[in-house]
Amino acid sequence: MTKSMAVLGTGAIGSSVAADLTRAGYDVILIDQWPAHVEAMKAKGLRVTMPEEEFVAPVRAFHLCEMKDLHKAPMRQFDIVFLTCKSYDSTWLAEFIKPFLKPDGVLVSVQNSLNDEWIAPIIGRERDIGCAFEISADAFVPGQVYRNTNRVHGEFVLGELDGQMTPRLEEVAHILSAVAKTQVTTNIWGAKWTKLIFNCMRATTRAALDAKRTEIVENPRVLDFVTKLGKEAAQVATALGIKLEPIPGFTAEDFRGGIRDELFRKFMAVVIGGTGGRSTSMVQQDIAKGRLTEIDYLNGLIVKKGLEVKVPTPANRAMTAVLRQIQEGALSPGLANLAILEEYMSGAKAMA
């Protein structure tokens, strides 16, 4: 039986997923809140530019408001929903799509942060599959996505929230293999925490300092600060009982030494996807588009959880403060922000 699927939130990642699933012949519709993007896809399809190829996928795209027509009898419901929106849109979109998800259907959170924590109570924990992923893509023009990582370098790590291995988990992994390499794990929370730590180090630092990945690795002061971000986040995870799981680019051996500087320096040295630091991070893209960033679901989340387990997080508090000011227009991205971050972390400067 053919599975009925939806990709909810078709920005850079959602568009990449939807285009490849469509090309693979799956029954999938795209749902988004960006009107111009939906109209462009309706008119001309979805154009995907990758390092080795360019193609146009004739996708079926819907505005959010058009979903009301699917309520009509017989109501359209989905076996699988890939939620690929920003973290701050997770809860209301989970409520939005809940009536369209079959009783035995699953929602896969292909997102940054720990979104399953707040999605599962809405749709039911038994209908939630977690996902950690590594795909780099940009979407600035309606109807177009520029995917920096191809299907060989991109990767999905999937897991049931309770750690069980199930047929549906294997099925979802097989489906997503049309987009990138896939693997399943019994420790999805560990994988998601590792990716969260990576994002808190790399994505937000690049945005705050307007820096390329290579610039972070080659500047000792920046690398030292980034290492502090990672160590704090890992200490919070450990205090919460999380066993960090290797993600693409790392092995189990990398994690056997525990929380140490070398591990976090490797985080910054590894180039996942072969982009060579040329692509922008998702936080940089948010700033460039003048929209809300996910800082409260990245470094801000580390700060929040650190307070819960009484683990100090001065570096992450500093990064959260600086990114919020950039988001509000009080600061501009640039290397000058490194001094502000250091002053905030040391207590020499009061956080705004």
Pick from 84, 88, 103: nearest CA to 31: 84
In the CATH scheme, what is the code of domain 4-186? 3.40.50.720
- The two domains 4-186 and 190-346 share their CATH topology (first three levels equal): no
Q: What pLDDT was estimated at residue 284?
A: 87
Residue 276 has what pLDDT? 42
Q: What CATH number is given for 190-346 in this structure?
A: 1.10.1040.10
Share of the chain above pLDDT 70, in %: 88
Q: With 60 as the cut, is the pLDDT of residue 1 above it?
A: no
Percent of the chain beyond pLDDT 90?
71
Q: What is the mean pLDDT of residues 200-229?
A: 87
Could you read off the pLDDT of 94-132 as tens digits, one per residue? Answer: 999 999 999 999 999 999 999 999 999 999 999 999 999
Q: Of 251, 281, 277, nearest to 263 (Cα)?
A: 251
Return mean pLDDT, the chain.
90
pTM of the model: 0.91
| pLDDT-derived band at 294, boundaries 50, 70, 90 | very high
Distance CA 325, CA 334 (A): 13
**Given a cut of 80, is residue 211 above it in pLDDT?**
yes
- Alpha carbon distances (Å) from 81 to 96, 129, 300: 12, 10, 27
Q: What is the model's pLDDT at position 248? A: 61
All structural domains of the chain with their residue ranges: 4-186, 190-346
Please write the tens of the pLDDT for every residue from 231-290: 899 999 999 999 988 766 666 666 655 556 666 666 666 543 344 444 678 888 889 888
CA distance 326 to 276: 26
Asked whether the beta carbons of 279 and 153 are under 8 A apart, the reply is no
DSSP letters spanning 289-312: TT---SGGGTHHHHHHHHHHTT--
Work out the pLDDT band at 346, boundaries 50, 70, 90. Answer: confident
Predicted local confidence at residue 261, as pLDDT: 65
Residues 65-96: tens digit of each pLDDT: 999 877 665 668 999 999 999 999 999 999 99
Q: Minimum mean pLDDT among 6-20, 33-47, 61-75, 135-149: which range? A: 61-75
pLDDT of 33 above 70: yes
